[in-house]
């Protein structure tokens, strides 16, 4: 019966005894609310048969809860000052592997083969992310060929709202589309800034990402499709037409091609990109390819 790390008193005591001060530049805000940690593990539906990847274990508050529920936890932490801390706090758990590496430099497929004793067990990703690199981490994870049974991650509430936004709302944009192209995203619950040491200056939310239904129509070129997401939202308040000609060209020939592509998929050029579903974006992309844009 090991006491939980995640109380304000124990967190402070651990940091003091190792002489650690948190670094803002590394997004270090440590969770000190045990109820929230338990809810995160529940949202991840972590089972004794699961492998779990954690990004940014900090002093191990979440890692410990994961270790108690999972088969094995592999955690990537960039800050070498935290290695002796984690060695101490994770000593009671024989199923935790901590790797001192920048997650953005990790090849996930190789790491999974290398560090999990049973690399074929169901894999989940559960993390309280470093907020300054939320989007790059998500893109790296979603663009890898790794099959996650689910991904449950804490992030800044504003970003969580964008990931889980419905078409036509103010939060809907290029990031929503890039994520929803790969997974279903739902906002599980929000977390007050008072649940951390130190308190961040934003509120947080847990997002759950689960495998999505296969798309009925596939894009000709994923890279170009992702570029089109960005083009559509270059100037949010402008029409789709305006953003398209700004990106692709204003000469008569280009305008003719764009007009043809839009007509092909029944789109009024005066529409705004926020009204276009993912499926419509894919249709538009395919029509643009067809007309040679
Ligand atoms: N999991 C702990 C918790 O919930 O209390 C800490 C979460 S804290 C928000 C983010 C953690 O990510 C910090 O420990 C930070 O050092 C680590 N981190 C920051 N950048 C990282 C990177 N590029 N790769 C791996 N870990 C990183």
Nearest atom (ligand 1) to Cα of 154: 9
Q: Classify residue 134 by its DSSP letter.
A: H
Arithmetic mean of pLDDT, 78-105? 98
Q: pLDDT band at 182, cuts 50/70/90?
A: very high
Distances (CA, A) of 138 to 41, 61, 77, 176, 239: 19, 22, 16, 12, 29
Both tokens of 213, joined, read 């239904």
Average pLDDT, the chain: 97
What pLDDT is stored for residue 266 in this prediction? 98
Q: At 239, is the secondary structure helix, strand, or coil?
A: coil
- Alpha-carbon distance of 165 to 178, in angstroms, equals 12
**Residue 17 Cα to ligand 1 middle (Å):** 20
Q: Assess whether pLDDT exceeds 90 at residue 219.
A: yes
At 109-146, the pLDDT tens digits run 999 999 999 999 999 999 999 999 999 999 999 999 99
What pLDDT is stored for residue 43 in this prediction? 98
Question: Nearest 5°: phi and psi at 151?
Answer: -130, 120
Question: Nearest 5°: phi and psi at 128?
Answer: -100, 95
Q: pLDDT band at 29, cuts 50/70/90?
A: very high
Question: Nearest 5°: phi and psi at 181?
Answer: -60, -30
- Alpha-carbon distance of 65 to 43, in angstroms, equals 13
Residue nearest to atom 23 of ligand 1 (CA): 102
At 233-290, the pLDDT tens digits run 999 999 999 999 999 999 999 999 999 999 999 999 999 999 999 999 999 999 999 9
Arithmetic mean of pLDDT, 185-205? 97
What pLDDT is stored for residue 44 in this prediction? 98
Residues facing 183 on adjacent strands: 211
State the pTM of this model.
0.95
Q: Assess whether pLDDT exceeds 90 at residue 194.
A: yes
Q: pLDDT band at 167, cuts 50/70/90?
A: very high
**Residue 164 Cα to ligand 1 middle (Å):** 23
Arithmetic mean of pLDDT, 20-44? 98
What pLDDT is stored for residue 123 in this prediction? 98
**Residue 233 Cα to ligand 1 middle (Å):** 31
CB of 196 closer than 6 angstroms to any ligand 1 atom: no
Arithmetic mean of pLDDT, 150-170? 98
Q: Assess whether pLDDT exceeds 90 at residue 187.
A: yes
* Ligand 1 pocket test, candidate residues 130, 203, 205, most atoms within 8 A of CB: 130
* Ligand 1 pocket test, candidate residues 22, 33, 56, most atoms within 8 A of CB: 56
* Ligand 1 pocket test, candidate residues 10, 12, 14, 26, most atoms within 8 A of CB: 26
> Among 282, 130, 103, which Cα is nearest to 204's?
130
Arithmetic mean of pLDDT, 27-35? 98
What pLDDT is stored for residue 2 in this prediction? 87
Q: pLDDT band at 51, cuts 50/70/90?
A: very high
What pLDDT is stored for residue 107 in this prediction? 98
CB of 28 closer than 6 angstroms to any ligand 1 atom: yes
Question: Nearest 5°: phi and psi at 45?
Answer: 50, 45
- Alpha-carbon distance of 6 to 62, in angstroms, equals 8
Arithmetic mean of pLDDT, 17-35? 97
Nearest atom (ligand 1) to Cα of 103: 24
Q: At 21, is the secondary structure helix, strand, or coil?
A: coil
Arithmetic mean of pLDDT, 191-208? 97
Q: Classify residue 23 by its DSSP letter.
A: -
**Residue 289 Cα to ligand 1 middle (Å):** 41
């Amino acid at each position: 019966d090991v006491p939980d790390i995640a109380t304000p008193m124990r967190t402070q005591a651990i940091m003091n005894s190792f002489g650690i001060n948190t670094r803002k530049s590394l997004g270090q805000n440590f969770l000190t609310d045990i109820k929230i940690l338990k809810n995160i593990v529940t949202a991840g539906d972590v089972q004794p048969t699961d492998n779990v990847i954690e990004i940014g274990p900090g002093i191990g508050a979440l890692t410990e809860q994961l270790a108690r529920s999972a088969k094995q936890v592999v955690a990537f932490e960039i800050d070498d000052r935290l290695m002796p801390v984690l060695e101490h706090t994770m000593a009671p758990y024989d199923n935790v592997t901590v790797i001192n590496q920048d997650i953005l430099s990790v090849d996930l497929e190789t790491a999974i083969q290398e560090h999990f004793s049973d690399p074929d067990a169901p894999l989940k990703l559960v993390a309280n992310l470093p907020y300054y690199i939320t989007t790059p981490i998500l893109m790296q994870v979603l663009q890898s060929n790794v099959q996650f049974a689910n991904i449950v991650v804490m992030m800044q509430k504003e970003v969580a709202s964008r990931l889980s936004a419905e078409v036509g709302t103010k939060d809907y944009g290029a990031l929503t589309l890039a994520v929803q192209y790969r997974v279903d995203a739902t906002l599980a619950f929000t977390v007050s800034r008072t649940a951390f040491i130190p308190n961040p200056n934003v509120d947080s939310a847990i997002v759950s990402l689960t495998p999505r239904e296969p798309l009925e129509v596939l894009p000709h070129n994923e890279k170009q499709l992702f570029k089109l997401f960005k083009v559509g939202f270059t100037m949010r308040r402008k029409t789709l037409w305006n953003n398209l000609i700004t990106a692709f060209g204003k000469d008569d020939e280009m305008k003719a091609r764009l007009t043809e592509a839009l007509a092909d998929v029944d789109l009024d050029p005066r529409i705004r990109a926020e009204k276009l579903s993912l499926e419509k974006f894919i249709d538009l992309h395919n029509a643009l390819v067809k007309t040679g844009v």
